Amino acid sequence: DIVMTQSPDSLAVSLGERATINCKSSQSVLYGSDNKNYLTWYQQKPRQPPKVLISWASTRESGVPDRFSGSGSGTEFTLTISSLQAEDVAVYYCQQHYSSTITFGGGTKVEIK
Amino acid sequence: QVQLVQSGAEVKKPGSSVKVSCEASGGILSSYPISWVRQAPGQGLEWMGRIIPMFDITNYAQTFQDRLRITADKSTNTVYMELTSLESDDTALYYCAKSFGELFPFDSWGQGTLVTVSS
């Protein structure tokens, strides 16, 4: 199975400051035939199911604020919140769907400092 | 827009089985792969397995291979997840989630079903 490793486990950021979350896969999730990274970022708020923020490593979902961005390719990926807002307090997960056996990162809890 | 509605909370004894349903409204369930993802209290997300209802094709995470069964009833647009030989570690919130295709992100989630395993 592809192992997804997120870092840090948690971070506290001041309002308006940048938050950066990293995700590393144990093997490449870049599919050669379409040149897409099969990597998605989810946001999960308490007592809610996860919600897609960024798909294909860097494509923001409709309605997601542009302060959220995704980057990276192959095995290393980053989710950036450019200016943290109070409503961004949540746990963020990366997920690979390159393999038919899907795996998630362990999650990163983002809080306000 | 397909919405997924899951069955209610369950309390089970160790060694027993649980069967959770996931009904699709607003669309045809058989067209899309449906996965099951669980989340133990205070923990992360764990993918368990999926079914492609149109073809009744399933695949399971190795961890659950021996005691997980995912089935679909196309006539009622419902997918079922049955987990056997329950242990206390199986206490978790169980979600169904839909994707556009087998290798696509999950674009719609059920509300979650809490399964508590306790003697």
Closest by Cβ to A107, choosing from B44, B104, B106 = B44
Question: Are residues A104 and B97, on separate chains, in Cβ contact within 8 Å?
Answer: no
DSSP state of A61: P
pLDDT at res. A77: 98
Q: Label residue B25 by pLDDT band (50, 70, 90).
A: confident
Q: Which residues contact A17 (CB under 8 A, 6 or more apart)?
A: A83, A84, A113
pLDDT per 10-residue tile (average), chain A, 113 residues: 97 98 98 95 97 98 97 98 98 97 98 98
A92 touches chain B (CB under 8 A): no
Omega within 30 of 0 (cis) for the link into A8? yes
Q: Tokens 């508590």: give the residue.
A: B116
* Residues B23, B32, B110, B58, CA torsion sign: positive
Q: Tokens 């669309």: give the residue.
A: B27
**Residue among A102, A103, A104, A109 with most chain B CBs within 10 A, to mutate:** A102
B105 touches chain A (CB under 8 A): yes
Which chain A positions have a beta carbon within 8 Å of B61's beta carbon? Answer: 1, 101
Question: What digits encode the pLDDT tens for the residues B36-84?
Answer: 999 999 999 999 999 999 889 999 999 999 999 999 998 899 999 999 9
Which chain A positions have a beta carbon within 8 Å of B52's beta carbon? Answer: none
CB atoms within 10 A of CB B38: 22
